[in-house]
Chain A
Amino acid sequence: MTFVVPVGPQHPALKEPEFFKFEVKGEEIVDVDIRFGYAHKGIEEALQRRDYKHDVYLVERICGICNVVHTTTYCQAVEKLAGVEPPERAKYIRVIILELERIHSHLLWFGIAAHQIGFNTLFMLAWRDRERVMDLRELISGNRVTSATNTIGGVRRDVKPEQVSTILRGLDELERSAEYYIDLFSSDRTILARCTDVGVLTKDDARKFCAVGPLARASGVDTDVRSDHPYAVYDKLSFKVITEREGDVWAKSIVRLREILESIRIVRQAIKEMPIGPIRTKVNIEIPRNETIERAEAPRGELFYYALSNGTERPERVRVRTPTYANFASIKRMFVGGTVAEIPIVMWSIDPCFTCNDRVSLVDSRTGKTFTLSLEELRKWRL
């Protein structure tokens, strides 16, 4: 006999509500179903009603955490449609701010992952370090989160020479912390016990269900848009694509932590090699009929845009496929066969744009009676 454990859709702890229906047999998960759309904002439709410049601000608000990668992909798509090339310096600034975004996103993820396995001190440490990245982002763009850096044809703010030493100092501190976390995640007994062989996604499944980003790389799929299809100036910078073979929660964590180190390397190179020059080209936004696709590597994986212009100032169609959406097809494989106690960390291991453990209702499938578990009770369950 199976029970249904609904998780969601009310998740005030993080911003995106979703609904998961877990079918469990005792402790074991036998099936999972997802219901999306609780925060569907109709942005694809809204993009068609505004002009290209206005849309930059709209795509920036698709995701609060990875807003720079959305505007970069969108602006690159529109630049391709219009046939313009942004100045070199603007491309370097885009890379710097993109990689700072990756560091911040991975540290945010890492902190919550530590919290999910009951390691709250590590959560505090990770978020303390995340503040350092946020400070650097504020220094460069004027904003901690929504950077408003990108515009069609380049960037809006320059990196000033007097900011460089602060950025480099910040990166040194971040590097020390990331190395410490990698060491900790490779040696701590509790972490290993909670994360190894949990929520495994095999390489075959990762490819079959088109997983992207750290999720695919942790399963041994060597995919990274930055090296497969270099955009901005990634072809001029040296970095490694981090992969692991195991496909479990541990591999997904280590991939992200080691990517922080690579991001730090990229920012250092970009700062050193950045040429002097203009940061923006003027673009006529009355773009003749044309179509293009554009990809970028967001912190959570490949972000995909399709854009179609029609000769006016407004796009005919803009299609956005976010990395979390791509990763949901493989979610069943990671849960089925696991236990209820693993739900929070496995769910968080795909780094979705939400978390789902602040309230759980249990339904007895025989009597139809519903009862609710609090977050505290759920925590107790998994210990």
Chain B
Amino acid sequence: MAQNLAALRAKIECDLRGRASAPFDYRERKFVETASVSIPEIDFLAGGLPRGGFTEICGPPCSGRTSFLLSALASRTAHAEVCVLVDGSDNFDPHSAQAAGVELKQLLWVRCHNIDQALRATDLLLQGRGFGLIALDLGDIPPETVRHVPLNAWFRFRRSVEDTRTIFVVLDQEPNAKTCASLVLRLGSEAVRWSTTIEAQTMDSFVYPSAWLFDGVDVRVEVLRSRVQNAAVGGFHRGFAPASIGGDTELFGTKTIWNSPDNLLLESQSKGLKKRE
């Protein structure tokens, strides 16, 4: 039996000579570098976004996915990295992006008409190399449509981004990339925060709606899958950890920026905004 196994092994090694140097040897996993999202809770929970890896952010509308994406884009563009947003349904809002700190000059925005265009554009961009972050936003495309994306497309994306320093992020409503994703986070909104200047006894926004401001949302983030070694703070990590079925959750809050001092244009966008201050 042992001789047969040895003979079989030798034959396989012989057949694969030139294509695989040592098919039966354990391959050391490469060190994985991660990048901060500038959301401390997520950096703590997930260790940041893996470079050369596939990150999937899923959640229903209003769950904070766009806030997460804008934060990641702001962080990367602030480091002078060239980022790309493949917008599957042309929903990106440059005003809120600039308010969130995204350097728009560093952002290539590809406005697609449908999911096919988005997938083909992503293929082209991943072959281009050199980008800091490529985001594929399928957040407003019906999940049943995204479900029909063949698994080999996700595998191709993962293979294309491997061995590069590019962060590849996909936004959708439910996880689709399965094992292709190095990191899968599910987001969901918890509480909506409103701020008001009126007294507590008249806490009905219908009485004086102009005295209320939408302040932000509390977002719950859950790690569904992570092959990135969890570390206390985002930064350089020593490799992939075994795939973990998640369950770890964190909560972070978003802040609606009505009047950023660096964004005077947004401030003057509407006369009403001045009233809100």
- Co-complex (A, B): no
List residues of chain B with CB under 8 Å of any chain A CB.
none
